[in-house]
Amino acid sequence: MRHFSPKRNTTLRKIFQYIRAHRVYLVLSILFAAITAVLTLYVPILFGDAIDGIIRKGQVDFPLIGSLLLEIGILCGVTALLQWLMNVINNRITYHVVRDIRRDAFNKIQKLPLSYLDSHSSGDIVSRVIADADTFADGLLMGFSQLFTGVVTIIATLIFMLTLHVGITLLVVVLTPLSLFMARFIARRTYHLFRKQSETRGRQTALIDEMIGNQKVVKAFGYEQEAVDRFDVINEELQDCSIKAVFYSSITNPSTRFINSVIYAAVALAGAFAVLTGGLTVGGLTCLLSYANQYTKPFNDISSVITELQNSLACASRLFELIEAPSQAPDGPMEMPTAKGEVTLEHVHFRYTPQRPLIDDLHLTVKPGMKVAIVGPTGCGKTTVINLLMRFYDVNEGAVLLDGVDIRQMTRHSLRRNYGMVLQETWLKNGTVRENLKMGRDDATDEEMIAAAKATHSHEFIRRLPQGYDTVLQEDSLSQGQKQLLCITRVMLCRPPVLILDEATSSIDTRTEVLIQEAFARLMEGRTSFIVAHRLSTIRNADCILVMKDGHILEQGTHEDLLARGGFYAELYNSQFAGKET
Domain boundaries, the chain: 8-323, 343-581
Q: Residue 247 burial (CB < 10 Å; 0-12/13-18/19+)? A: exposed
**What pLDDT shows up at residue 1?**
38
Half-sphere exposure at residue 386, Cβ-oriented, CA atoms within 13 angstroms: 24
The CATH superfamily of 8-323 is: ABC transporter type 1, transmembrane domain (1.20.1560.10)
Angstrom distance (rounded) from CA 308 to CA 310: 6
Backbone angles phi, psi at 172, to 5 degrees: -65, -45
Q: What is the 3-state secondary structure (H, E, C) of 477-529?
A: CCCHHHHHHHHHHHHHHHCCCEEEEECCCCCCCHHHHHHHHHHHHHHCCCCEE
553 has which bridge partners? 548
Query: How high is the pLDDT of residue 537?
Result: 65
Nearest to 75 by CA among 44, 48, 40: 40
The answer to whether 24 and 42 are in contact (CB under 8 A) is: no
Q: Angle at Cα 89 formed by Cα 88 and Cα 92, nearest 5°?
A: 90
Other C-beta atoms lying within 10 Å of the C-beta of residue 402: 24
Helix, strand, coil shares, percent, the chain, to 5 = 65, 10, 25
CB of 90 closer than 8 Å to CB of 33: no
pLDDT the model gives residue 400:
92
Question: What is d(CA 492, CA 454) in angstroms, rounded to the nearest whole number?
Answer: 11
Neighbours of 393 (CB within 10 A): 18
pLDDT at 487: 85
The predicted pLDDT at position 581 comes to 46
The pLDDT of residue 56: 56
Which candidate, 412, 290, 394, 309, places its Cα nearest to that of 1? 309
Q: What is the pLDDT of residue 493?
A: 87
Q: How far from 339 is each of 30, 131, 274, 335, CA to CA, in Å?
A: 59, 44, 93, 11
Span 343-581: which CATH code?
3.40.50.300
**Secondary structure element (H or E) that encloses residue 364, with its range:** strand 359-366
Evaluate the CA torsion angle 28, 29, 35, 36 in order and state its sign.
Answer: positive
Q: What is the pLDDT of residue 65?
A: 76
Predicted pLDDT of residue 523:
63
Question: Which residues, including other chains, have CB under 8 Å from residue 282's CB and lie 6 or more apart?
Answer: 51, 52, 275
3-state secondary structure of 90: helix
- The tens-digit pLDDT sequence of the chain (582 residues) is 344 455 667 888 888 888 888 888 888 888 888 888 788 878 777 777 777 667 555 566 777 778 888 888 888 899 899 889 988 888 888 888 889 999 999 999 888 888 888 778 787 888 888 888 888 888 888 777 777 777 777 787 778 777 777 887 787 777 777 776 776 677 667 767 777 888 888 888 888 888 887 777 787 778 888 888 989 999 898 888 888 887 877 777 677 777 777 877 887 888 787 777 777 777 777 777 777 777 777 766 666 676 677 778 888 888 898 898 888 888 888 888 888 888 998 988 888 877 777 888 888 888 888 888 888 887 777 888 888 888 888 888 999 999 889 999 999 888 888 888 888 777 888 888 998 899 888 888 889 899 888 888 888 889 888 888 998 887 677 887 788 888 888 888 888 888 888 876 666 667 767 766 776 666 667 788 888 877 776 677 788 888 888 777 788 888 888 888 888 888 887 876 654 443
Which among 356, 347, 364 is positioned nearest to 548, based on CA atoms?
364
Query: Are residues 555 and 565 in contact, defined by beta-carbon separation less than 8 angstroms?
Result: yes
Fold equal for 8-323 and 343-581: no
Please give the Cα distance from 218 to 210 (Å, whole number): 10
Classified as helix, coil or strand, 334 is strand
| Alpha carbon 564 to its chain's center | 55
